[in-house]
Amino acid sequence: MQTLLINIKELLQVREANIEKVSGAAMAVLPSLKNAFLLIENDEIADFGLMENCPKIKADKTIDAKGKMILPSWCDSHTHIVYAGNREQEFVDRINGLTYEEIANRGGGILNSAKKLNETSEEEIYNQSKKRLEEVIQQGTGAVEIKSGYGLTVEGELKMLRVIQKLAKNHPITIKATFLGAHAFPTEYKENHAAYIDLIINEMLPKIAEEKLADYIDAFCETGYFSVAETERIMQAGAKYGLRSKIHVNQFTAINGIAACVKHKALSVDHLEIVTDEDIEVLKNSETMPVALPSCSYFISIPYTPARKMISAGLPLALASDFNPGTTPSGNMNFVVATACIKMKMTPEEAINAATLNGAYAMGISATHGSITVGKKANLIITKELNSFYELPYAFGSNLIEQVILNGESIS
Ligand code: NIG
Ligand code: FE
């Protein structure tokens, strides 16, 4: 099956295969071709170039993209799309003056979602999560990481990971699964952290590994949640089963968790609303991708990740949605990109790099996703007619996506 896209006004994020991420000043460069073609063969990008070099072939399908932009699908490397019910009451409580922390201390927050999750059947959780996944596909996401972490029991965590596995089986989007048993301490373990960590390591992890339900491991390294030492235990245990770490860290406080993550060769450190000079230093020349979640900052009114400071220091940065019922009930990566430009002062070039190639790196798939590269997956966003790609973050409330292609096939 061949699909030929012709007359593309601008083909964005064209890269050689050896570029796995972009850092520092290189983030400001978004390589593109104007008046281009792109050839898809089966589920891969087979060729692309200027229209004057367009192959004279009779493809099975031809799409005229006159006036439109084409870019790789968003790679959303941090979500909690699988959950039961929602938490709109907490949203109203925050409007009325309570903080995220105060709500959590009253039994709300993560434990509220864990209660709902454990009371809901696997089938019902699947049906609720499927709707969210299908929504983000329409919004241009072509690869997504999904975490467990609302079970906090052996059965609950396995149930979530099985739902993720089933979502992956039934949808064309690429999905990576992350085990987040260390998301919060269940009430009965509040005074006995070691016992819950033992449960994670001795009961949950072996079963998850046996059923091959996770690609990565995560922990919420934060004051009042998992300490740096506890997070290190989780990272070490995951590594024994071949699960690399992607860690929630520096959301509310800086407790030197980033240094521990770099020491354990974490694939990514995520949130980073509070970042110290030492954190930046330790990330330099590491393999660990910093990931910012601007929709979370927006929704719960906390600081934005200091992108300018980090990029100026030469670091790479990825952008992800954090789609979850508590801090970010949205998986719209178009909004993430726009918010990064508007609130974090990232340029559109930097934000698109962060939400495609660097996002792919942050979930270990940059060899196959995140750029327009021969041999990579044909996961594409075709925009409506635009003046320039700057319109994508500029018109932040508009849907500028006309069509989505996943694995070479048209979705919308
Ligand atoms: O990434 N910070 C930790 N976890 C989620 C929120 C969890 C929740 O409130 O349900 C986050 O923001
Ligand atoms: Fe998160």
Nearest CA residue ID for atom 1, ligand 1 = 322
Read off the pLDDT of residues 308-321 as tens digits, 9 standing for 90 and up. Answer: 999 999 999 999 99
Instruction: Quick: pLDDT tens for 157-182.
Output: 999 999 999 999 999 999 999 999 99
Fold of 2-72+371-410: Urease, subunit C; domain 1 (2.30.40)
Give dist(CA 194, CA 199) in Å, integer: 9
pLDDT at 412: 67
Q: CB-based contacts of 210: which residues, under 8 Å, 6+ apart?
A: none
Which ligand is the nearest neighbour of the Cα of 147? Answer: 2
Residue 343 has pLDDT above 80, yes or no: yes
- Write down the pLDDT at residue 107: 86
Determine the distance separating the centroid of ligand 2 and the alpha carbon of 164, expressed in angstroms.
16
Ligand nearest to the CA of 145: 2
- Please, where in the chain does CATH 2.30.40.10 lie? 2-72+371-410
Q: Does the pLDDT at position 154 exceed 90? A: yes
CATH of domain 75-361: 3.20.20.140
Residues of the chain within CATH 3.20.20.140 domain(s) are 75-361
Are the CB atoms for 60 and 1 separated by under 8 Å?
Answer: yes
Model pTM?
0.98
Answer yes or no: is the C-beta of 295 below 6 A from any ligand 1 atom. no
Question: Using a 6 Å cutoff on CB, does residue 218 contact ligand 1?
Answer: no
The mean of the pLDDT values for the chain is: 97
